[in-house]
């Protein structure tokens, strides 16, 4: 096994928390000149808080636990120092190996990270490959055959390549786990464990997560050595910059109420969230029938179909995008005017992720929730997390307790068939959202 060196040629003095915030330019952070040129090309003026705090630590070669949500600039926070290390370390990848590995839970997030690495590395000669399921292996095998500097991958497809001998991980010197909480929620824990066993012990490891449940804390303790903890809580994004409201409504009236809301043409780019893939498809179909240009985004769609839906939404060809939580994670679409929760999430953290889609880069946003009686316990949990009530736009809470939809741990699974019928047939339980511990399934092949 080749000996790996993790120290940067130009080590920087350790910076305390206050000095992180004083570093107001990327130049002051000590990044390599080709990266600074790329940032200038992209009109990046100054680092975000997560970038200002993380980059100096990572340039030193430290392990890091980053707690930050999407929209905080966390991809640049790990991608820029990673590229800096690979530029300054005198090594080239051997065939069927990679020098750095970035794990992401969904195909969309992997593609987005790959696009950002390409943008930041436009002035350097590094090679990277994005590996995910749902597409043939052939092109991915070709990319990996001569070796790459960076692999961005979903866990299931990465294991496929490892098992078929098209990629070895014994040369990895830098590891990044992005959105670790989502990765474990999707059932990737066993796959991640297998991948970790194939990695060298000497490496720099980073773990980013929006939340810190016990499972993520255990994973961090296992893979990180004396890590620095960097936490950025975007309270302004979830509260100050988003006008939130809720309509209390009977399940049977959700369809008509959604139609009334969407009749306002000022809602020109809207993401509507559901808990299940089946409901997302039915809702998109009904909106199309009523003359509203709509696409849906969920894990049962092929990769090409998902990318087409996103492109239509970005271009304005589709005014509405109906999405599930997992499919929408990691997607950054600018100028989303509204987020509508047609179904409230059964995990309050997902509400934060959802509404954050409409307040990007300091812009204001609007989030509207439709709450039927069976979802009122979800709303109470959301308000507890936000530490404030959501303004009531219409209706009032029911006076009779109604059990939340779904059964099993954490009430995951969505509504029972026929239990909520905005368009007639109701929704199947979303069995893919909680596989009951059956981690031998590969979620990135079909779900996400």
Three-state DSSP at 307 gives: helix
DSSP assignment letter at 43: T
pLDDT given for residue 193 in this prediction: 96
Of 40-54, 141-155, 322-336, 379-393, which gets the smallest average pLDDT?
322-336
The answer, yes or no, to whether residue 310 has pLDDT greater than 60, is yes
pLDDT given for residue 324 in this prediction: 86
Q: 58: closest CA among 22, 18, 85, 89?
A: 85
pLDDT digits 0-9 by tens, 400-437: 545 555 433 333 333 333 333 333 333 333 333 334 33
pLDDT given for residue 439 in this prediction: 41
DSSP assignment letter at 128: E
- Asked if the domains 17-232 and 236-433 are classified in one and the same CATH topology, the answer is yes
Q: Which residues contact 207 (CB under 8 A, 6 or more apart)?
A: 64, 65, 66, 176, 177, 180, 216, 219, 220, 223, 224, 227
pLDDT given for residue 19 in this prediction: 39
Residue 273: strand pairing partners: 323, 341
Higher pLDDT, 412 or 44: 44
The answer, yes or no, to whether residue 353 has pLDDT greater than 90, is no
The answer, yes or no, to whether residue 216 has pLDDT greater than 50, is yes
pLDDT given for residue 9 in this prediction: 34
> Can you say how many angstroms the Cα of residue 369 is from the centroid of all Cα atoms in its chain?
21
Q: What percent of the chain has pLDDT over 70?
A: 79
The answer, yes or no, to whether residue 8 has pLDDT greater than 80, is no
Q: 199: closest CA among 165, 166, 162, 226?
A: 162
pLDDT given for residue 67 in this prediction: 92
Note if the pTM is more than 0.85.
no
The fold of the 236-433 domain, in CATH, is Rossmann fold (3.40.50)
The pLDDT-based confidence of 22 (bands split at 50, 70, 90) is very low
Higher pLDDT, 414 or 115: 115
pLDDT digits 0-9 by tens, 279-290: 999 999 999 999
The CATH architecture that domain 17-232 belongs to is: 3-Layer(aba) Sandwich (3.40)
Q: Where are the domains of the chain?
A: 17-232, 236-433
Of 79-93, 370-384, 432-446, which gets the smallest average pLDDT?
432-446
pLDDT given for residue 127 in this prediction: 96
Residue 341: strand pairing partners: 273, 369
Give me the chain's average pLDDT, please: 82
The pLDDT-based confidence of 7 (bands split at 50, 70, 90) is very low
The answer, yes or no, to whether residue 5 has pLDDT greater than 50, is no
Q: What percent of the chain has pLDDT over 90?
A: 56
pLDDT given for residue 428 in this prediction: 34
Structure tokens of 166? 């098209």
pLDDT given for residue 405 in this prediction: 54
The answer, yes or no, to whether residue 447 has pLDDT greater than 80, is no
The crossing angle, in degrees rounded to 10, of helices 189-197 and 214-223 is 0
The pLDDT-based confidence of 325 (bands split at 50, 70, 90) is confident
Higher pLDDT, 128 or 236: 128
List the strands of the sheet with 294-297, edge to edge. 294-297, 320-323, 270-273, 338-341, 365-371, 242-248, 391-394
pLDDT given for residue 412 in this prediction: 35
Which span out of 128-132, 294-298, 382-386 was modeled with the highest average pLDDT? 128-132
pLDDT digits 0-9 by tens, 148-189: 999 999 999 999 999 999 999 999 999 999 999 989 988 899
The answer, yes or no, to whether residue 16 has pLDDT greater than 60, is no
């Amino acid at each position: 096994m080749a000996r790996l060196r993790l120290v940067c040629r130009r080590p920087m003095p350790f910076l305390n928390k206050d000095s992180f915030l004083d570093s107001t330019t990327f130049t002051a952070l000590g990044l390599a000149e080709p990266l600074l040129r790329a940032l200038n090309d992209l009109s990046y003026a100054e680092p975000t808080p997560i970038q200002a705090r993380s980059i100096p630590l990572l340039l030193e070669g430290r392990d890091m636990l980053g707690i930050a949500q999407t929209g905080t600039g966390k991809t640049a926070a790990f991608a820029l120092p990673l590229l800096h290390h690979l530029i300054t370390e005198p090594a080239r990848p051997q065939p069927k190996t990679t020098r750095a590995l970035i794990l992401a839970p969904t195909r969309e997030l992997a593609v987005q990270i790959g696009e950002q690495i390409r943008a930041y590395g436009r002035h350097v000669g590094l090679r990277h490959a994005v590996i995910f399921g749902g597409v043939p292996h052939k092109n991915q095998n070709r990319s990996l055959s001569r070796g790459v500097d960076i692999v961005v991958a979903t866990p299931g497809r990465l294991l496929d390549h490892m098992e078929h001998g098209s990629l070895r991980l014994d040369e990895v010197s830098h590891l990044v786990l992005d959105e670790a909480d989502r990765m474990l929620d999707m059932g990737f824990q066993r796959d991640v464990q297998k991948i970790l066993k194939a990695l060298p012990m000497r490496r720099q490891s980073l773990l980013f997560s929006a939340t810190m449940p016990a499972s993520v804390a255990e994973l961090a303790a296992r893979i990180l050595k004396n890590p620095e903890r960097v936490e950025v809580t975007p309270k302004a994004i979830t509260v100050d910059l988003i006008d939130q409201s809720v309509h209390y409504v009977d399940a049977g009236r959700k369809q008509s109420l959604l139609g009334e809301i969407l009749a306002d043409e000022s809602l020109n780019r809207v993401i509507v969230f559901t808990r299940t893939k089946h409901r997302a498809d039915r809702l998109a179909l009904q909106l199309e029938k009523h003359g509203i240009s709509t696409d849906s985004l969920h894990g049962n769609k092929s990769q090409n179909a998902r990318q087409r839906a996103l492109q239509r939404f970005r271009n304005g060809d589709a005014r509405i995008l109906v999405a599930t939580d997992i499919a929408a994670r990691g997607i950054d679409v600018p100028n989303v005017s509204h987020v509508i929760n047609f179904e409230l999430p059964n995990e309050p953290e997902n509400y934060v992720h959802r509404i954050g889609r409409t307040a990007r880069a300091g812009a204001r946003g609007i989030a509207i929730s439709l709450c039927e009686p069976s979802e009122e316990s979800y709303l109470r949990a959301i308000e507890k997390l936000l530490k404030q009530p959501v303004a009531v736009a219409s209706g009032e809470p029911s006076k009779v307790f109604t059990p939340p939809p779904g059964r099993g741990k954490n009430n995951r699974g969505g509504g029972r068939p026929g239990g909520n019928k905005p368009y007639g047939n109701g929704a199947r339980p979303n069995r893919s959202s909680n596989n009951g511990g059956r981690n031998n399934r590969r979620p990135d092949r079909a779900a996400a």
